[in-house]
C-alpha cells in the first residue's frame, strides 16, 4: 500500500521552526513531539532564513513566479483545447459548404 505524504500548513511549519529555536529542547525532541522528522525542521529553518515571509507559499515549494507559471500553463492548455475544438468544427463545416440543404 502506498504511503500518503502529509501536508502541513504554513502556520504549522512556522510554529515548528519557532518551537525548535525558542524551546531550548533539542530539535529531535521537538520533531518527535510534533510527529515530524528532525530533517524537516532543519529544511524549514533553512527555507525561512533564505526566503523570509515567502518561505512556505503552499502546494510545495512554489514562489510567486512559479505559481504564476503554473496558472499560465493551465490557461494555455485550456485555450489550446478550445482552439482545437473550434478547428474541428471549422473543418467539418467546410465539408458541407457546397451542399444545399433541403427542408
Domain limits, the chain? 1-61, 62-95
Confidence band, pLDDT 50/70/90 cuts, at residue 40: very high
- pLDDT in the model for residue 97: 58
Residue 83: count of CB within 10 angstroms of its CB: 10
**Mean pLDDT of the chain, nearest integer:** 83
Which distant-in-sequence residues (6+ apart) come within 8 Å of 30 by Cβ? 16, 19, 20, 23, 38, 41
DSSP per position, 13-45: HHHHHHHHHHS-S-HHHHHHHHTS-HHHHHHHH
CA-based max dimension of the chain? 88
- 65-96 pLDDT, tens digit per residue, is 878 888 999 999 999 999 999 888 876 666 55
Amino acid at each position: 500500500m502506498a504511503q500518503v505524504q502529509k501536508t502541513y500548513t504554513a502556520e504549522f511549519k512556522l510554529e515548528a521552526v519557532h518551537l525548535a529555536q525558542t524551546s531550548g529542547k533539542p530539535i529531535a525532541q521537538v520533531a518527535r513531539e510534533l510527529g515530524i522528522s528532525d530533517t524537516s525542521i532543519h529544511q524549514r529553518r533553512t527555507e525561512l532564513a533564505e526566503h523570509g515571509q515567502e518561505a512556505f507559499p503552499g502546494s510545495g515549494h512554489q514562489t510567486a513566479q512559479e505559481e504564476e507559471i503554473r496558472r499560465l500553463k493551465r490557461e494555455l492548455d485550456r485555450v489550446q483545447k478550445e482552439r482545437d475544438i473550434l478547428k474541428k468544427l471549422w473543418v467539418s463545416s467546410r465539408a458541407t459548404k457546397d451542399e444545399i440543404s433541403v427542408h
